[in-house]
Amino acid sequence: MRAVTTVRGKAIPLDRSNVDTDQIIPARYLKRIERTGYGPFAFEAWRKDPSFVLNDQRYAGAPILLARQNFGCGSSREHAVWALDGIGVTAVVASSFADIFKSNCFQGGLLTVELPDEDLDYLFARAVEQPASELVVDLASQTVCTADGAWERHFDIDPFRKYRLLRGLDDIAMTMAYEPDVTAFEAERPAFLPTTR
């Protein structure tokens, strides 16, 4: 898992509530066994509309996605996180997230930030009026601010999740951190007991 420290760039204003995981990545693509390559299928149905925000080249390469409440509801597919990663999104700022989706984001190294509706109203308006404007999402200071520093808000995050995201530690990496202890323990076990080797 990649470490998440600071995400800086343009923001995609996906001004919709209750965006479900089937919209993020259609179920027919879940047969693939890879964790990469889902980007071209992200928001496939909505992309058929020429006016859909992801078809607007002014937001090309934007690493921040703005959304409304209950983002990521629906099926508990981690593929939705992979699809967002596939279009270059590394942080999603919304007023709320579906619990399982939020957990999948954490496991996949995608930062989720919750802000009140009035703050999102401002960010949406800014992204629409100034598509080239940038935001800075800083995990260490737990802030979202405009690149010029004129606007800033604090966000909350579970301290353990913050620790892991800052260091890029998924469950396997957390376990591997104890490898020297496990090796030392195994070396002292009596020979008649089973070993992991």
Tens-place pLDDT, residues 90-99: 999 999 999 9
64-66 vs 91-94, strand pairing mode:
parallel
Contact residues for 172 (Cβ-Cβ < 8 A; gap 6+): none
Residues 40-65, mean pLDDT to the nearest whole number: 97
Q: pTM for the full model?
A: 0.90
Q: Is the pLDDT of residue 173 over 80?
A: yes
Q: Is the pLDDT of residue 115 over 70?
A: yes
Q: Is the pLDDT of residue 24 over 70?
A: yes
Q: Is the pLDDT of residue 187 over 90?
A: no
Contact residues for 132 (Cβ-Cβ < 8 A; gap 6+): 10, 58
Token pair belonging to 181: 């202890």
Residues 11-16, mean pLDDT to the nearest whole number: 98
Residues 31-50, mean pLDDT to the nearest whole number: 93
Domains in the chain and their CATH numbers?
A: 6-188 (3.20.19.10)
CA atoms within 13 Å, Cβ hemisphere of 168: 7
Q: Is the pLDDT of residue 32 over 90?
A: no
The residues that bridge with 7 in the sheet, in sequence order, are 137
Q: Is the pLDDT of residue 197 over 80?
A: no
Contact residues for 47 (Cβ-Cβ < 8 A; gap 6+): 54, 55
Output the pLDDT for position 195.
67
CA atoms within 13 Å, Cβ hemisphere of 24: 30
